Amino acid sequence: MKSSSIPCDSQRRTHAGFIQNAGNLYGNLLQGPGRINVVNSRGMWQALAMRLPRIKLEGDGGGHFHVMSRIAEGKFIFDPMNPGTSGAVAAEKFREMMVKLARFHGIEIFTWALLSNHFHILLKEPDERLKEISDGDLVEKVRKLNGGDAAAELEWQLGQFREEMKHPELAEELKGRYLARMGNVSPLKRSVDFDFSQSLCPSGHAVA
């Protein structure tokens, strides 16, 4: 089954929009062989998640996953509906971070919702995970995710392994650690939570 992605700059940032889009997918899944995984739902997606088992979508490829996280103690830091406020700025930073991480990991964002103290994202893993990548392509992916300094550091490390140390297997091992993250929802979820806590949350407002 193929799903239609919701553009990541769309305005579907409310719970109602998320439930509507997820409901459309849920209806399609009921007619097919698959199901939706619920990752750390904490009962927040009761309209859909309570009716679904924790198994991956079976059939022609990757699974669909609902993931969510909330700010510790229910602190309100996002205000996506009021442009110009600090909460709106934080919301836009979150959107940019989410999109960059999803692209790096090769995960499709089906739909998402950002509330004042938590978020929901409905994701789809690729039908087949990336098994190999050139040094140049990996460096470019890292550049788009973490910037030029991180890309230059990776390029230097790969060059050292291949040219200076004459141990290309170490370069492949390093690339393998990156490849293990791609096409896999779990590392993406950890990355979103980490960056969410480190970059977007005020001091003490960690993700729970």
Residues 196, 153 within the same domain: no
Residues 124, 196 within the same domain: yes
Residues 45, 104 within the same domain: yes
Residues 74, 154 within the same domain: no
pTM of whole model > 0.85?
no
pLDDT of residue 158: 97
Residues 144, 191 within the same domain: no
Residues 77, 141 within the same domain: no
Residues 66, 113 within the same domain: yes
CA dist 26 → 21, 30, 37, 113, 121 (Å) = 9, 6, 11, 16, 14
- In this structure, how many other beta carbons lie within 10 angstroms of the beta carbon of residue 61? 15
Domain that holds residue 168: 135-179
Q: Report yes or no: 119 and 18 within 8 Å, Cβ to Cβ.
A: no
The count of structural domains within the chain is: 2
In a domain, 69, yes or no: yes
- Tens digit of each residue's pLDDT (9 = 90 or more) over 37-65: 444 333 333 333 333 333 344 444 578 88
In a domain, 10, yes or no: no
Residues 95, 107 within the same domain: yes
In a domain, 139, yes or no: yes
In a domain, 96, yes or no: yes
In a domain, 46, yes or no: yes
pLDDT of residue 113: 86
Task: Render each residue's pLDDT in the chain as its tens digit; 208 residues.
Answer: 333 333 344 334 555 565 556 556 555 544 443 444 444 333 333 333 333 333 344 444 578 888 888 877 778 888 888 888 988 988 898 899 999 999 999 999 988 888 888 888 888 899 889 999 999 999 999 999 999 999 999 999 999 999 999 999 999 999 999 999 999 999 998 898 888 777 655 554 555 5
CA dist 168 → 160, 172, 175, 176 (Å) = 9, 6, 11, 12
In a domain, 43, yes or no: yes
110 three-class SS? strand
**CATH for 85:** 3.30.70
Residues 124, 151 within the same domain: no
Residues 87, 46 within the same domain: yes
Identity (one letter) of the amino acid at 91? A
pLDDT of residue 59: 43
Query: At what angle are helices 135-146 and 148-159 packed, to 10 degrees?
Result: 150
Residues 70, 40 within the same domain: yes
**Number of alpha helices (DSSP H) and beta strands (DSSP E) in the chain:** 6, 4
Residues 120, 143 within the same domain: no
In a domain, 7, yes or no: no
pLDDT of residue 96: 92
List the structure tokens of 166: 């004459």
